[in-house]
């Protein structure tokens, strides 16, 4: 069998960002607002700082306004909720993202649920989760949405396909499973207590790996020809004392077996911010009486 097609998430995301930039220009030309995205970070987690900086940079590159709020690590929950309330009522802010993880004195669910669901561009608020589960129109979490876009691009119609989602977190595994169900896949969810995981994997036409366990999915776990979406981002030490990023799938072993596969880096990762911009654009349209689908 031929080697798997490598799904180029980096190129896909670059095209998506360019499309969004065009739509933002068209919105302004029709008398609409400049979409505004507020990104809030509490504390100085270095990975979060890189993410929030990239989010702000790409927001501006797409022609939107970026409002960045960097708060000290000792910020109280009350003060963070007060900021969220101000942003909820700020007409120039159409999307609000509070970067996770938050320091221990703050309950992330209390903050997420305080965000106006219309501005919840991460799609983590219970109202948006409820819409996803019940089939209503809400904001879809960015990484799961990115996975779905790559899958549809690779496979077209997903109807009837057998999908296995490894990982059941609220921000990745569960929303991906519900999105695939909405596409009429037959969905199985696996997690750390799943028995015979390799066997479950071998039945899947679509395999989503979102466990945070480096190179856990071996080549022999993959059904020949399956489409593999590797969400994992894990930094591991190399033999020469340096470090590199790897996914949850042993990419080299998967390549001769899978039909298509996302690499790490350059697969799902770049899709997350592109989908965030898409959500922010759609939020700005809906809040100001424009149909995002009309662009
Ligand atoms: P979590 O740690 O919240 O969840 C991991 C899930 O994987 C849990 O449901 C856990 O099961 C399951 N799991 C852990 N070990 C095993 C195992 N040995 N076998 C089967 N299942 C297992 O992680 P996230 O969902 O937040 O993230 C998952 C991965 O995706 C990470 O590598 C993260 O870095 C990456 N990520 C990438 C993003 C991007 O591309 N932009 C965005 C977000 C995340 P249980 O519930 O039983 O504990």
Q: What is the mean pLDDT of residues 275-295?
A: 98
Q: Which residues contact 12 (CB under 8 A, 6 or more apart)?
A: 149, 150, 153, 270, 271, 274
- How far, in Å, CA of 192 to CA of 208, rounded? 15
Q: What is the mean pLDDT of residues 22-38?
A: 98
The number of folded domains in the chain is: 2
Residue 292 belongs to a domain: no
| Predicted TM-score of the model (pTM) | 0.97
Does 192 lie in the same domain as 104? no
Residue 279 belongs to a domain: no
Residue 182 belongs to a domain: yes
Mutation test of ligand 1: which of 150, 233, 249, 263 has the most ligand atoms closer than 8 Å to its C-beta? 233
Are 55 and 244 contacting, i.e. CB atoms less than 8 angstroms apart?
A: no
Does 226 lie in the same domain as 160? yes
> If DSSP codes are grouped into helix, strand and coil, which group holds residue 267?
coil
Cα of 292 vs centre of ligand 1, distance in Å, is 32
Q: What is the mean pLDDT of residues 173-201?
A: 98
pLDDT at position 104: 97
1 pLDDT exceeds 70?
no
- How far, in Å, CA of 228 to CA of 207, rounded? 5
Q: Which atom of ligand 1 is nearest to the CA of 247?
A: 32
CATH number at residue 213: 3.40.50.720
Mean pLDDT for the chain overall = 97
Q: What is the mean pLDDT of residues 93-112?
A: 97
Residue 277 belongs to a domain: no
pLDDT at position 2: 85
As annotated, the active-site residues are 55, 99, 122
- How far, in Å, CA of 290 to CA of 266, rounded? 33
Are 68 and 94 contacting, i.e. CB atoms less than 8 angstroms apart?
A: no
- Give me the phi and psi of 205, to 5 degrees please: -75, -30
Kindly report, residue by residue over 215-258, the tens digit of the pLDDT.
999 999 999 999 999 999 999 999 999 999 999 999 999 999 99
Residue 52 belongs to a domain: yes
Does 146 lie in the same domain as 107? no
Does 221 lie in the same domain as 148? yes
Full residue range of the structural domain in which residue 178 is found:
142-268
Mutation test of ligand 1: which of 99, 196, 210, 267 has the most ligand atoms closer than 8 Å to its C-beta? 210
Task: Please report which helix (H) or strand (E) contains residue 87, including its range.
Answer: helix 77-88
Q: What is the mean pLDDT of residues 194-201?
A: 98
Structural domain ending residue among the three candidates 83, 117, 151: 117
The label of the residue with tokens 């904001």 reads: 139
Task: List C-alpha distances in Å: 250 to 74, 96, 154, 210.
Answer: 40, 36, 20, 13
CATH number at residue 85: 3.40.50.10860
The binding-site residues of ligand 1, defined as CB within 6 angstroms of any ligand atom, are: 143, 166-169, 171-173, 190-194, 197, 210-213, 216, 231-234, 268-269, 272
Q: What is the mean pLDDT of residues 37-58?
A: 95
Q: What is the mean pLDDT of residues 24-45?
A: 97
Kindly report, residue by residue over 58-81, the tens digit of the pLDDT.
999 999 999 999 999 999 999 999
Q: What is the mean pLDDT of residues 121-133?
A: 97
Ligand 1, atom 18, residue with closest C-alpha: 192
Does 76 lie in the same domain as 147? no
Residue 252 belongs to a domain: yes
Does 160 lie in the same domain as 50? no
Residue 261 belongs to a domain: yes
- How far, in Å, CA of 295 to CA of 125, rounded? 26
Does 163 lie in the same domain as 112? no
Q: What is the mean pLDDT of residues 197-204?
A: 98
Residue 295 belongs to a domain: no
């Amino acid at each position: 069998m031929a080697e798997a097609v490598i799904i180029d998430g980096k190129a896909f995301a670059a095209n998506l960002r360019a499309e969004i930039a065009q739509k933002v220009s068209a919105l302004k030309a029709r008398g609409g607002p400049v979409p505004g995205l507020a990104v809030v970070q509490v504390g100085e987690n270095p990975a979060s700082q890189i993410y929030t900086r990239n989010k702000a940079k790409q927001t501006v590159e797409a022609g939107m306004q970026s409002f960045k709020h960097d708060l000290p690590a000792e910020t109280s929950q009350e003060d963070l909720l007060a900021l969220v309330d101000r942003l909820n009522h700020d007409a120039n802010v159409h999307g609000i993202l509070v970067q996770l993880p938050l320091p221990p004195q703050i309950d992330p669910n209390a903050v997420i649920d305080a965000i106006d669901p219309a501005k919840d561009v991460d799609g983590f608020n219970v109202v948006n989760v409820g819409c996803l589960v019940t089939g209503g129109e809400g904001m879809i979490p960015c990484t799961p949405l990115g996975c779905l876009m790559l899958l549809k691009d690779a496979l077209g119609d997903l109807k009837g396909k057998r999908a296995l989602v490894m990982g059941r977190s609220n921000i990745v595994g569960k929303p991906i499973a519900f999105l695939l169900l909405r596409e009429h896949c037959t969905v199985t969810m696996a997690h750390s207590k799943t028995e015979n995981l390799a066997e479950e994997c071998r039945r899947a036409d679509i395999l989503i790996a979102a466990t945070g366990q480096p190179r856990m999915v071996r080549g022999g776990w993959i059904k020949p020809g399956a489409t593999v979406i590797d969400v994992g981002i894990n930094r591991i030490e190399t033999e020469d004392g340096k470090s590199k990023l790897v996914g949850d799938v042993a990419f080299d072993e998967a390549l001769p077996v899978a039909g298509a596969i996302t690499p790490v880096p350059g697969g799902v990762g770049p899709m997350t911010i592109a989908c965030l911009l898409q959500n922010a654009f759609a939020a700005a349209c809906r809040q100001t009486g424009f149909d995002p689908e009309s662009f």
